[in-house]
Amino acid sequence: MVDFHSNSNMPTTKSLKISLSNNLSLPSLHLRPFCSSDISAASPPLCSAYDHYLRLPELRKLWSSRDFPNWSNEPVLKPALQALEITFRFMSTVFSDPRPYANRRELNRRVESLATSQIEIIAMLCEDEEYDSMTRGTVPTLNLETQQNLNQRRSYSETSLLPHLATWHKSKPAAQRILLSVECAMMRCPYTLGLGEPNLAMKPSLQYDAVCKPNELHIHAHAHTLVSKTEESLTVHATHQIIESWIQASRKLLERINKSLDNKILEKATRDCYAVERIWKVLTEIEDMHVIMDPDDFLKIKKELNSVKGETAAFCFRSKGVVEVTNMCRELKQKVPGILEVEVDPRGGPGVMEAAMKVYVEKESGFEKVHVLQAMQAIEVAMKRFFYAYKQVLVVVMGSAEASGNRVSEGGDSLSQIFMEPTYFPSLDAAKTFLGYYWENDSRGGLRT
């Protein structure tokens, strides 16, 4: 049986067996360490062409610029706000689409929903920053109550596209709903974004223009390549710039998560983990935009997008950022023994699993560990869901032959390899399996220790 009061730091080589009060027992389970190679990016020429097409070198300069050295959250919020601003530019493309056969109603709904989803993540990041006493009050804001001149009491950006969209008759209803979404999402935060939202509480306003730099951002609105400036090419370009911006924010969050876990700051790591999970979900929503693109119009530009002759790979593998963040998420499994304060048995003993079971049962003393472990597994679920959805989008947009074109040596395609591989947290999986079986078969309603 499991001794929940034993020293969890002592690895064991014995098979784990839980005795049940009704004389039933689980079969012995030998845990094996999870082994899987890193996901690899496409060939350097394809990755270089992808970077050039999206003008990523220029965007990286904007992401990495530090205009507020005392603001620790700038590396995360800056690319997040820039992703939102690119979405506003994408909105202008969608609402000005002249094609009579375009599904305008659904396009309009989806781009508005996409903007709202990103605003919710940005509000979440702002709230978490203010919750932390180490970062509270460092965000660059403009306090409207201290303005001497009433004409200077502007609560909105002068260079963002959203205030302009709110005055254009085609996009006015959607833009005004987005502004109300900003007002609602930022309610729990002591400041607001400064995009023209009502700001009924007269809270300080984020210096949006100084942080996001919309004018500089929109200079890189179009690709360098010879891709036709059709609505479909503009859609592909904008959506992938949005993805890359959120990938940059995820990278910084994951770096912060690793640092927090190393320093045993579990609550902060948990908050950042759930932010990464939400980002993977919004990436899935971005890819869904391609489902309603006109098939014929998109396939006309497909050849131009495959700029390197003789080589093909899904766009997600041409992105070095997506591949890097994917591997960073997968490597979170290495942090589990440290969280549980147990050593890994190199012979595959169940020490980590027993420690996990102990933490799950003793809620009062280990709830922070449970929270962060659940958050890490939530990242895995959201990430695998993204790659599964990505493959389905490829099938819908380009056909099943294209979706299966990126093969791996052992058979199957690279996208399937990601979402079909076993869980990254086998010890946690086994711990929950054993506990679930135990409670189903224990008539006393309590664990015997």
Q: pLDDT for 234-247, tens place per residue?
A: 899 999 999 999 99
pTM of the model: 0.87
- Burial annotation 297-334 (CB, 10 A radius, 16+ → b, else e): bbeebeeebebbeeeebbbbbbbbbbbbbbebbbebbe
Q: Report in angstroms the alpha-carbon separations of 13 from 161, 347, 429, 441.
A: 62, 7, 19, 26
What pLDDT score was predicted for residue 420?
86
Q: pLDDT for 297-329, tens place per residue?
A: 888 887 777 655 556 677 888 999 999 999 999
Q: How large a percentage of the chain has pLDDT more than 90? A: 53
Query: In the predicted model, what is the mean pLDDT of the chain?
Result: 83
What pLDDT score was predicted for residue 252?
97
7: confidence class by pLDDT, cuts 50, 70, 90: very low
What pLDDT score was predicted for residue 8?
39
- Burial annotation 251-283 (CB, 10 A radius, 16+ → b, else e): bbbbebbbebbeeebbebbbbbbbbbbbbbbbb
Q: pLDDT for 352-363, tens place per residue?
A: 888 999 999 887
Q: Rounded distance, CA 286 to CA 395, Å?
A: 16
Between 344 and 176, whose confidence is greater? 176
Short-list 408, 267, 254, 272, CA closest to 331: 254
What pLDDT score was predicted for residue 338?
94
Show Cβ contacts of residue 250 under 8 Å, excluding neighbours closer than 6 positions: 276, 279, 280, 325
Segment 199-228 mean pLDDT = 84
E runs forming strands in 199-263: 205-206
Among 23-37, 148-162, 235-249, name the one with the lowest average pLDDT: 23-37
What pLDDT score was predicted for residue 412?
45
Model confidence at 9: pLDDT above 60: no
| Contact present, 306 and 400 (Cβ < 8 Å) | no
Show Cβ contacts of residue 377 under 8 Å, excluding neighbours closer than 6 positions: 423, 425, 428
Q: Rounded distance, CA 388 to CA 380, Å?
A: 12
344: confidence class by pLDDT, cuts 50, 70, 90: confident
Among 144-148, 189-193, 433-437, name the one with the lowest average pLDDT: 144-148
Highest mean pLDDT out of 258-262, 432-436, 444-448: 258-262
What pLDDT score was predicted for residue 225?
56
Q: How large a percentage of the chain has pLDDT more than 70? A: 80
Q: Report in angstroms the alpha-carbon separations of 327 from 10, 323, 349, 377.
A: 30, 6, 26, 14
Model confidence at 150: pLDDT above 60: no
Model confidence at 133: pLDDT above 90: no
For the beta carbon of residue 349, count every other beta carbon within 10 angstroms. 20
Model confidence at 228: pLDDT above 60: yes
Model confidence at 32: pLDDT above 60: no
